Amino acid sequence: MPHVLFVFGTRPEAIKLAPLIEELRRNPSFDVRVCVTGQHREMLAQVLRLFDIVPEFDLDLMTLDQGLSEMTAAILAGMRDVLRSTRPDLVVVQGDTTSAFAAGLAAFYAGIDVAHVEAGLRSGDSLAPWPEEVNRKLLSIVTRYHFAPTEESRANLLREGTDPAQIFVTGNTVIDALKKAASRIDGDDVLRARLDSEFSFLDRRRRLILVTGHRRESFGSGFESICDALAEIAGEHEDVEIVYPVHLNPNVMLPVHRILGRNARIHLIEPIDYLSFVYLMTRSEFILTDSGGVQEEASTLGKPVLILRETTERPEAVSEGNARVVGTDRETIVSETRLLLHDAAHRAAMSQPSLAFGDGKAAERIAEVLLEATLSDRCRAASPRAT
Ligand code: UD1
Ligand code: UDP
């Protein structure tokens, strides 16, 4: 029975891998185990609870305001020990975090095949998002099975010389997670009532803008500028309310609370669980975010997105008309937000639900490929083992 080890460390990886873990666990052909690095703690625990994932291994590495070098080194050492003791046939990682990159590298050093979910995204700028653009490129080099969400991500991999036979276009597993969450909310009156009451502080007569932000390249002046823009928007629109679940990174939390903490129409809340966040996305009129996953989810739900970054590796959201890259400049954020608030035709044009990121069956497709690959023993036929 092929032994597959999932390794992840942050909230978005967990959300995006949960549907695949569930899919493989349903299939008796696989022996599935989970290792969390602990890059995130509370924000990861929320997702593990929701999707009922109990990790077999927890490196428990999170430290306050952690540095990239320390985290990378700790994950490499921690993973070396886990891989030595468990010898999986395949390590599955997702996305572009330090956890994904370092776990992929550790698997490569141990002579174990790597499957990369959400492969091939590229912004074209090594410094934005930072360090994710470089993480995902480095990961592609050590990956054997590249699961590209879209044709564009496949094209990026081909341009870099990746073997076409090792690339599989599957859609993004986040859409699987989103659809499951949305149908859970739709089909459960008690849950919906709980969510209504969790957010009873929001005034239904006001128009809701949802905000998230956490990119490292925006720390400092970028975040201050975003916060100034939010204060200006709330100040000039009495009929608007902003809700902002604030990332626990102190480089985010401190400026956000300092600048926006006293604003009556801006609700700064703690990170919320995935069901609550999906509920808030559906209640919002539009979304301001620098998150990768939220760009995909919002486009799928038909919620306009202003991307608070200089560039995006999700160009599909822009070409489909759902998103605009507005950066972190205060004036640009304010004027683009005004346009969405005041120009109904513009808002409607950006509110068409998009299928660009997937149809909710990505996990099924990935499982099929992995089953075929592992059964034909391609994993074990890889390069000589080194420990
Ligand atoms: C990381 C990822 C980023 C991903 C984001 C998702 C890297 C380099 N960055 O962002 O790609 O988009 O997660 O959210 O891999 N903290 C807590 N509790 C938590 C999580 C974080 O207290 O549950 C605090 C800790 O002080 C921690 C800090 O936030 O040191 C930063 O956490 P980190 O995982 O490094 O977050 P980011 O790099 O901001
Ligand atoms: N999300 C969540 N709770 C929150 C904010 C976001 O569950 O309070 C979800 C969101 O729906 C998306 C993912 O977390 O699936 C995005 O995570 P994040 O913005 O931290 O990372 P990124 O997508 O930028 O890597």
In tens, the pLDDT along 298-336 reads: 999 999 999 999 999 999 999 999 999 999 999 999 999
Which listed ligand is nearest to 212 at the C-alpha? Answer: 2
Q: Does 247 qualify as catalytic in the annotation?
A: yes
| Domain assignments of the chain as residue spans, ordered by start | 3-172+358-382, 189-349
Using 50, 70 and 90 to split pLDDT, how confident is the model at 374?
confident
Ligand 2 binding pocket mutation candidate from 98, 117, 212 (most atoms within 8 A of CB): 212
Of the candidates 122, 214, 215, 365, the residue annotated as catalytic is 214
| Alpha helices in the chain, H assignment, sequence order | 11-26, 42-51, 68-86, 98-109, 132-142, 151-159, 173-186, 189-198, 221-236, 250-260, 274-283, 292-301, 315-319, 330-342, 344-349, 362-375
For residue 387, pLDDT beyond 50: no
Average of per-residue pLDDT across 248-258: 97
Q: Does domain 3-172+358-382 have CATH number 3.40.50.2000?
A: yes
Please determine, for residue 382, whether its predicted confidence score (pLDDT) is greater than 70.
no
**For this structure, is 378 an active site residue?**
no
315 three-class SS: helix
Question: CA angle, 75 as apex, 72 and 79 as ends, to 5°?
Answer: 145
The C-alpha atoms of residue 70 and residue 73 are separated, in whole angstroms, by 5
Share of the chain above pLDDT 90, in %: 95
Topology of the domain covering 189-349: Rossmann fold (3.40.50)
DSSP, residue by residue, 107-165: HHHTT-EEEEES-----S-TTSSTTHHHHHHHHHHH-SEEEESSHHHHHHHHHTT--GG
Q: What is the reported pLDDT for 380?
A: 53
* Residues contacting 115, CB < 8 A, separation 6+: 90, 91, 92, 93, 143, 144, 145, 147, 366, 370
Cα dist from 325 to 4, 92, 214, 228, 231, whole Å: 38, 31, 16, 18, 20
CA distance 378 to 20: 20
The predicted model gives 248-255 an average pLDDT of 97
pLDDT band at 1 (very low <50, low <70, confident <90, very high): confident
Which ligand lies nearest to the CA atom of residue 271 in the structure? 2
Considering the entire predicted model, what is its pTM? 0.96
Pocket of ligand 2 (CB under 6 A): 11-12, 15, 174, 212, 214, 245, 271-272, 274, 277, 291-294, 297
With bands split at pLDDT 50, 70 and 90, how would you rate the model's confidence at 377? Answer: low
**Interatomic CA distance for residues 4 and 91, integer angstroms:** 6
pLDDT(87) > 50: yes
Q: Do the first three CATH levels of 3-172+358-382 and 189-349 match, i.e. the same topology?
A: yes
Mean pLDDT within 72-98: 97
Atom of ligand 1 nearest to the CA of 64: 26
Amino acid residing at 273: D
